[in-house]
Amino acid sequence: MTDQNSFAVLFEQHRPRLRRLAERMLGATAETDDVVQDVWLRASAAGVDDIDNIGGWLTTIASRACLNVLRARSTRGEIPIDDDGTDPVVERDPCGADPLEHAQQEDAVGAALTVVHEQLSPAERVAFVLHDSFDVPFEQIADLLERSPDAVRQLASRARRRVRSADVAGTRPARERRAVVDAFFAAARGGEFDRLVALLSPEVELRIDQGLSATALIRGGATVASRALMFATPGAVLTPVLIDGLPGVVVTIGERAVSVMAFDVDGDRIAAIDAFVGPARVAALTLPR
């Protein structure tokens, strides 16, 4: 049986991680200390005799406490209210606009990096922080958020796109990122396998969202390049857009939008591609006119 003193020593071993989690979720505020204290009170009252994974258990308690704080903030209008987390924001790409207008947007997006984390909904922030920073499985996060693992995966993906778009756009001109995307489609249409591989990170991920929880994940430069060649359509019309701030395209065949693709460009290579595929899935998105 674990006595209170022994548990106190055990808790102190986990305190730095719990505090780090709370800071990632809530920011460096007084609420961070309140969450850690709340975890201590709840855990010490419950006891740990029947707990096999104390670290995971404490993480779950801390996550629930953070989620309560985030939801309280959302009711006060301080952060966005939860949405379903599945649909990205698709906007007109200003890369072809007036240079001054474009430069002003770049400055604004760069500055937004400092606040973009605060703009995530509670569910997006929980999914993103727990999975990307603390390696918590989507299945476990799904239990916490009372959603399906696929829905949680989409929440994390959308949050990741928002954070990365602010980071990348603030440090790399959008025209350069767009040039990498244009080169990708040119190589695909030209059947240039080696060129495609050179444009893709070796660890690139292609996430294909067909709706109805049908999400596929393809990894590796050669595999993604082969997929791009297989589905390249010379007659398709590509309309440049921004998708959650990342460079992307709307693919239209015969005046019908069939897919929307977002590209996470890291340096001169594509690190990740999010593809929303099929007329039904695309019809669910709000596209710029």
Q: For residue 88, what pLDDT is reported?
A: 76
Q: For residue 195, what pLDDT is reported?
A: 95
- How far apart CA 43 and CA 57 sit, in angstroms, is 9
Percentage of the chain exceeding pLDDT 90: 34
CATH architecture, domain defined by 94-169: Orthogonal Bundle (1.10)
For the chain, give the mean pLDDT.
82
User: Cβ–Cβ contacts within 10 Å for residue 243, how many?
Assistant: 24
Task: Please say whether the structural domain 174-283 has been given the CATH code 3.40.50.1860.
Answer: no
HSE (CB half, 13 Å, CA atoms) of 93? 22
Q: For residue 76, what pLDDT is reported?
A: 74
Tens digits of residue pLDDT in 93-105: 766 444 444 444 4
Tens digits of residue pLDDT in 152-206: 988 888 888 777 766 555 555 567 788 999 999 999 999 999 999 999 999 999 9
Closest-CA residue to 233 (of 257, 198, 268): 257
Q: For residue 209, what pLDDT is reported?
A: 87
Provide the phi-psi class of 112: left if phi over 0, else alpha when psi is between -120 and 50, else beta: alpha
Q: For residue 234, what pLDDT is reported?
A: 81
CATH architecture, domain defined by 4-75: Orthogonal Bundle (1.10)
158, 160, 161, 248 from 85: Cα distances, Å: 7, 12, 12, 19
In the predicted model, what is the mean pLDDT of residues 204-209?
90
Where does residue 239 rank: exposed (0-12), middle (13-18), buried (19+ CB within 10 A)? Answer: middle
Which carries the bigger pLDDT value, residue 72 or residue 3? 72
Tens digits of residue pLDDT in 233-271: 888 999 999 887 788 999 999 888 999 999 988 888 999
* Highest mean pLDDT (candidates 13-17, 26-30, 196-200, 282-286): 196-200
Tell me: pLDDT of 1 over 50.
no
Tell me: pLDDT of 114 over 60.
no
- How far apart CA 227 and CA 225 sit, in angstroms, is 5
DSSP string, 192-253: -HHHHHHHEEEEEEEEEE-STT-EEEEESHHHHHHHHHHH--TT-EEEEEEETTEEEEEEEE
* Domain range summary for the chain, segments of one domain joined by +: 4-75, 94-169, 174-283
| Intrachain domains 94-169 and 174-283 with the same fold | no
Gyration radius from the chain CA atoms: 22
- How far apart CA 223 and CA 231 sit, in angstroms, is 13
Q: For residue 167, what pLDDT is reported?
A: 57
Tell me: pLDDT of 79 over 80.
no
Element housing 134 (H / E): helix 134-134
In the predicted model, what is the mean pLDDT of residues 283-289?
85
In the predicted model, what is the mean pLDDT of residues 206-225?
85
